[in-house]
Structure 1
Amino acid sequence: MLTFQHLSKTYGSGLLQNTALKDVSADISCGEMVALCGPSGSGKSTLLNLLGLLDTPTQGQIWLDQQPVPTDPAALAQLRCRAIGFIFQRYNLLPVLTALENVEYPLQLLGVAKSERRARAMALLEAVGVGQFAGQRPDQLSGGQQQRVAIARALVKAPPLVIADEPTANLDGVSAAQVIDLMQQLGRDANTTFLIASHDPRLYERCSRLLTLKDGVLVENQPQSLNPARRAG
C-alpha cells in the first residue's frame, strides 16, 4: 500500500541546516496498522507530513498503491482528498461547522449526495461515541470529544490510508479502546492501512508492527509481537 525509499528532509540552508529525517525506508502493506514510535524530536511528525503528502522530501521517493506520488500540487491535493484520511493531534476541526458538518465535509469534497454523506457521518459519530453532540460546534466540545470527531472525519470516506498523530492522546481507556477497535475493523473490512505516531502503549499492543525513529533515523522495524519491550514507549 505504502512504500518509501531513502526519505530525507532538511530544513534551512547553509550553516543553519537541520536534517529532520535521514534516509528512511520501509514498506507498509494493505490493511496493516503500524505504530510510529520514538521520543519527541525523533522525526515522527516530519515523516507523517511526508507520507501524508503535506510536505515534500528533500530526497527520496514515495509510492502509494504501487504508484509514485505526483509532484504537481493540484494532483497531490486530489490524491490527498481521495486516498488519505488525517487525524491531527490538534484536531483541526472547522470552528464554524457542527460536529456532523465537520465529519461530512470530506464527503462533500468528493461529491457524495447530501443524504448519503449525512448518514455516513452520523454513523461514524455514533461509532466513536459522540453522536449526541452532532449539532455542537468544536468550541462547545471537550478536547476528548473534539478528538473523536476528528477521528470520525478521517474515517468517514473509508480511505485506503489513514495518517494519525496521537489519535488516543486525549481519550480515556474506554474511548481509546473503542477507537482502536474501529480502526482495526476498518483494516479488516475495508483494507484500510493505518500509520500512527503515538506514545500510547494501549495502541502499541494492538498494532501489527512498530517503526522506531531516533534522531531522524529509522532504528527499528519489527513485528509488534517480536518487540514487547517497546510497548512502554
Structure 2
Amino acid sequence: MQYRIQLCTAMAEQLGDVITLEFSQETVTIADIRKGLYEQYPEVASQLQGSFFTHHKRLASPDELVLPSDTIALLQSAPGMETVISKCGLFAITYDPIDADEVASKVHDPSHGASLTFNGTTREYTQGQRTVLLEYEAYVPMAMNTMKQIGDEIAARWPSTRTAITHRLGTVRIGETSVVIAVSAAHRDTCYEASRYAIEQLKQIVPIWKKEVWEDGSEWKGHQLGGWSPHNTQ
C-alpha cells in the first residue's frame, strides 16, 4: 500500500512537495511513516529529528493509525527547537523568538469550535522596579517531560482537548514573548479552563528558572515547587 506524504520548507526543496512510501503491512502508524522516511531518505535524517506530522490537518501522535487515502503532512520545527509529541499535543523549548501563530496551528482540529492562545511576555515594571531583561534556563529533558505531563493532565480532565506549549530560553527582552500556550476544544468554556490550568501548572512544576535583571541588580527565580537557582546542585 502506498502512502503520500506532503513536505514543506527545506525537505520539499530537496525531495519535492510530495513523496510516496510503500508498506506491506495492513496497519500503519505515524511512527511507521517516520521510520520509513529515515530508511528511504537518510540524507534528511537530521531534519527529521525536529519534525512533526499532521493527519487530516491536525497534529498526529506517533501511535496514530493512518490509511493510504489519508492526508498526511510533515512539518518542521525551527532549527534548535527541542520537541516532544503526545496524543494531546506538542511541547517545545527553543532559544529563538516564538511564532505564536505556529504554536496555535499545532492544536488545530476540525472538530473543535474554540481555541485560545496565551502569550507570556516580559513586562518592564514589577512592583515599581524596572526590569531590563529576563534570562531563562532549564533542565531541558525534565522540562519537556513536565510540559507533556501538563498536556496529559489537561486531556484527562477535559477529554478531546489539544494543547501546545513552547517556552523560550536565553535572553528575553522587554515586550518579547517567553512562552506561548495554545489550547483548542469543542467548546469555549473548556478552552478557558484548560488554558488557565496550563499556565498555572507550568509556573508550579516545570523546572525553568528565570533571572530577573534590573537596573541595580538581579535575582534568580524558579518554578514554585523547585529551587531558586539553576546552578544549585544540592
TM-score, normalised to structure 2's length? Answer: 0.24
Instruction: Name the structure, 1 or 2, with higher relative contact order (CA <8 Å, separation 6+).
Output: 1
- Greater share of helix residues, 1 or 2? 1
TM-score, normalised to structure 1's length? Answer: 0.24
- Greater share of strand residues, 1 or 2? 2
